[in-house]
C-alpha cells in the first residue's frame, strides 16, 4: 500500500533535523511503498501551500548536515486560530493544503509550539506524527530531544574556552546560554564545563548569594569566577513578575538581557571586573554530534513504524533508554522543567556549584 507523507520542520533550527528527516524517509522506503512531500518553512508552508515532491536522492548525504533542508519558521500557536489582516483562516488553510497534497499523513519535527499545533491538526482529523526537536530538552514525556546533546557540546566548549581568559585576567565571566523557560542546557553545560555558579529559570537567584560565592572563591585564592546563566533566569526579587514584566524591567535599565543586568550588579557591588559572553545562535549551528545523529535516526525510524501501523496522533519519545511514543494530546502544552531536586542539580551542589539560592 502506497503512503504519501508530508514532512515539515518548524520553530528554531537545531542539529539533527536533517538526520531525523533522513531516518523517517529511509525507513519508510524499506517498510512500505512511500513517497514524500517536503513542506517549506514549517507551518508557514503548510498554510500557504508551499511544497514540493521529494526524490529519494534528496535524503542522501544529509546525515551530518546542520540546519534543515526544508527550511523553518516560527508560527506561534496562539495565533493559529486568529484571522489576521490577510484574512486567512490558518487552520482551514492547513487542512485544505493537506488534502490538496493528497497526504496520508503529516510528520512534524519541532518543539513545544510545533507539538501544540500538531495536536490541533490531529484533533481536526489529520493524520499526524511528531518528532521531538529542541536544544532546550524541554518537551514533556521524553528523556531527551534531538539537538540537545550537540548544543551541550557547543555550550561546554564555550565555557571551557572562557576559563583561560577569565583566569588570565582575574575576571568574573557571565556566560549566557539558551533556555528561556527550562535550564537543562545551562545545567548540563555548566557542570560539564566546570562553571562555579549555575543560574536556571527554575531556581530564581539571590544577588547576595551569587556575590557570597564569588567572595568565597577569592578567599580560597581563586581570582576568577565562571557563571553559566540561562537566558530565562531571573533575580528572586522578580519572582512575582511575569516574563514580559521582567523583560520590560531589563529594557528600562538598558540591559540587553539578564546576563548584562547581573554583570552590572556584580561589578557595582564588588568592584570586580565583570564581562558577559553570549554565544547565542552559535549553540544551534553546525553538524550534529554522533549521539544526536544516532538519536535522530532512531526517532525517524520509529516514526516510520508508527506510519506503517497507521498509529497516528503520536509523538516519538525516549523513555528509560527505549524509543517509544506519547500521544500528541498528552504532550501538547506541557513543558519539562528542571526539578529543583533533580539528581543533576544535587550533583552540582555536591561538587560545590552554587545555584544562587
Q: Are residues 11 and 135 in the same domain?
A: yes
| Same domain membership, residue 316 and residue 235 | no
The pLDDT value given to residue 339: 96
Cell readout for 339 is: 526539578
The pLDDT assigned to 81 comes to 87
Give the count of domains, the chain: 2
Q: How confident is the model at residue 168 (pLDDT cuts 50, 70, 90)?
A: confident
Instruction: Report yes or no on 343 lying in a domain.
Output: no
Q: Are 278 and 307 contained in the same domain?
A: no
- Range of 83's domain? 2-147+288-331
Q: What is the mean pLDDT of residues 324-335?
A: 96
Domain containing residue 176: CATH number: 3.40.50.460
Res 76: pLDDT? 87
Pairing between β-strand 314-319 and β-strand 322-327 as defined by DSSP bridges? antiparallel
Instruction: Say yes or no: 133 and 22 in one domain.
Output: yes
Q: How many CB atoms lie within 10 A of CB 267?
A: 14
Name the nearest CA neighbour of 294 among 10, 7, 6, 16.
Answer: 16
3-27 per-position pLDDT tens digit: 999 999 999 899 999 999 999 999 9
For residues 113 and 169, membership in a common domain is answered with no
Residue 350 falls in the annotated catalytic set = no
Residue 81 belongs to a domain:
yes
Indicate whether 339 belongs to any domain. no
List the catalytic residue out of 104, 136, 138, 196.
Answer: 136
Give a yes or no: residue 350 inside a domain. Answer: no
Of residues 243 and 350, more confidence is placed in 350
Q: What percent of the chain has pLDDT over 90?
A: 88
* Shared domain check, 159 and 120: no
Read off the pLDDT of residues 76-88 as tens digits, 9 standing for 90 and up: 888 888 888 888 9
Average pLDDT, the chain: 95
The rounded distance, in Å, linking the Cα atoms of 316 and 350 is 34
**Cβ(337)–Cβ(202) under 8 Å?**
yes
Q: Which three cell numbers stand for residue 178?
A: 539558551
Q: Is the pLDDT of residue 202 over 90?
A: yes
CA-wise closest residue to 129 among 95, 97, 104: 104
Query: pLDDT exceeding 70 applies to what percent of the chain?
Result: 100
Statement to judge: residues 13 and 143 lie in one domain:
yes
Residues 12 and 142 reside in one and the same domain: yes
Specify whether 274 is located in the same domain as 295: no
Taken in order 68, 72, 74, 77, the sign of the CA dihedral is: negative
The three grid cell numbers given for residue 23, joined into one nine-digit string:
531516518
- All three cell numbers of 289, joined, read 554530534
Q: What whole-number distance in Å separates Cα of residue 334 and Cα of residue 140?
A: 6
Query: Which among 283, 306, 341 is the end of a domain?
Result: 283
Q: What is the pLDDT of residues 90-105, one digit of tens each?
A: 999 999 999 999 999 9
CATH number at residue 311: 3.40.50.450
The residue among 166 and 292 whose pLDDT is bigger is 292
* 302 lies in some domain: yes
3-state secondary structure string, the chain? CEEEEEEEECCCCCCCHHHHHHHHHHHHHHHCEEEEEEECCCHHHHHHCCEEEECHHHHCCCCCCCCCCCCCCCCCHHHCCCCCCCCCCHHHHHHHHHHHCCCCEEEEEECHHHHHHHHHHHHCCCCEEEEEECCCCCECCCCCCECHHHHHHHHHHHHHHHHHHHHHHCCEEEEEECCCCCCHHHHHHHHHCCCCEEEECCECECHHHHHHHHHHHHHCCCCCEEEEEECCCCEHHHCCCCHHHHHHHHHHCCCCCHHHHHHHHHHHHHCCCEEEECCHHHHHCCCCCHHHHHHHHHHHHHHHHHHHCCCCCEEEEEECCEEEEEEHHHHCCCECCCCCCCHHHHHHHHCCCECCC
Q: Which of 246, 265, 283 is the last residue of a domain?
A: 283
Q: In angstroms, what CA-CA distances link 104 with 3, 111, 235?
A: 6, 23, 49
126 and 50 in a common domain: yes
Report yes or no on 345 lying in a domain: no
Decide if 338 is inside a domain.
no
Say yes or no: 316 and 303 in one domain: yes
Query: Which of 21-25, 111-115, 169-173, 222-226: highest mean pLDDT?
Result: 21-25
12/109 same-domain check: yes
Confidence at 278, pLDDT banded by 50, 70, 90: very high
Name the domain boundary from 260, 283, 306.
283
Is residue 264 in a domain? yes
296: left (phi over 0), alpha (psi -120 to 50) or beta: alpha
Amino acid at each position: 500500500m502506497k503512503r504519501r507523507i508530508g514532512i515539515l520542520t518548524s520553530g528554531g533550527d537545531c542539529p539533527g533535523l536533517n538526520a531525523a528527516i533522513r531516518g523517517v524517509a529511509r525507513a519508510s522506503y524499506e517498510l512500505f511503498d512511500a513517497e514524500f512531500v517536503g513542506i517549506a518553512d514549517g507551518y508557514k508552508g503548510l498554510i500557504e501551500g508551499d511544497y514540493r515532491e521529494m526524490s529519494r536522492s534528496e535524503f542522501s548525504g544529509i546525515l551530518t548536515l546542520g540546519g534543515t533542508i526544508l527550511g523553518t519558521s516560527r508560527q506561534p500557536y496562539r495565533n493559529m486560530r486568529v484571522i489576521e489582516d490577510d484574512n486567512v483562516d490558518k487552520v482551514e488553510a492547513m487542512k485544505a493544503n493537506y488534502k490538496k497534497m493528497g497526504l496520508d499523513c503529516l510528520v512534524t519535527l519541532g518543539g513545544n509550539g510545533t507539538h501544540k499545533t500538531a495536536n490541533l491538526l490531529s484533533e481536526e482529523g489529520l493524520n499526524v506524527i511528531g518528532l521531538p526537536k529542541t536544544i532546550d530538552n524541554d518537551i514533556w514525556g521524553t528523556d531527551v530531544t534531538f539537538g540537545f546533546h550537540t548544543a551541550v557540546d557547543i555550550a561546554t566548549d564555550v565555557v571551557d574556552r572562557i576559563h583561560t581568559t577569565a583566569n588570565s585576567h582575574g575576571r568574573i565571566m557571565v556566560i549566557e546560554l539558551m533556555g528561556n523557560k527550562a535550564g537543562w542546557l545551562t545545567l548540563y553545560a555548566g557542570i560539564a564545563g566546570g562553571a562555579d555558579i549555575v543560574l536556571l529559570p527554575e531556581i530564581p537567584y539571590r544577588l547576595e548569594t551569587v556575590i557570597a560565592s564569588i567572595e568565597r572563591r577569592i578567599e580560597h585564592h581563586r581570582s576568577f569566577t565562571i557563571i553559566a546563566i540561562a537566558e530565562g533566569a531571573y533575580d528572586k526579587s522578580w519572582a512575582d513578575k511575569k516574563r514580559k514584566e521582567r523583560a520590560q524591567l531589563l529594557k528600562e535599565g538598558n540591559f540587553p538581557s539578564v546576563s548584562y543586568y547581573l554583570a552590572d550588579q556584580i561589578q557595582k557591588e564588588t568592584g570586580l571586573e565583570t564581562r558577559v559572553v553570549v554565544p547565542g545562535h552559535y549553540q544551534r549551528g553546525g553538524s550534529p554530534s554522533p549521539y544526536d545523529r544516532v538519536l535522530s535516526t532512531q526517532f525517524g525510524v520509529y516514526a516510520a513504524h508508527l506510519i506503517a501501523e497507521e498509529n497516528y496522533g503520536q509523538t516519538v519519545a525516549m523513555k528509560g533508554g527505549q524509543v517509544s511514543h506519547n500521544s500528541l494530546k498528552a504532550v501538547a502544552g506541557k513543558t519539562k522543567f528542571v526539578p529543583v531536586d533533580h539528581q543533576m542539580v544535587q550533583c552540582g551542589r555536591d561538587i560545590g556549584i552554587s545555584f544562587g539560592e
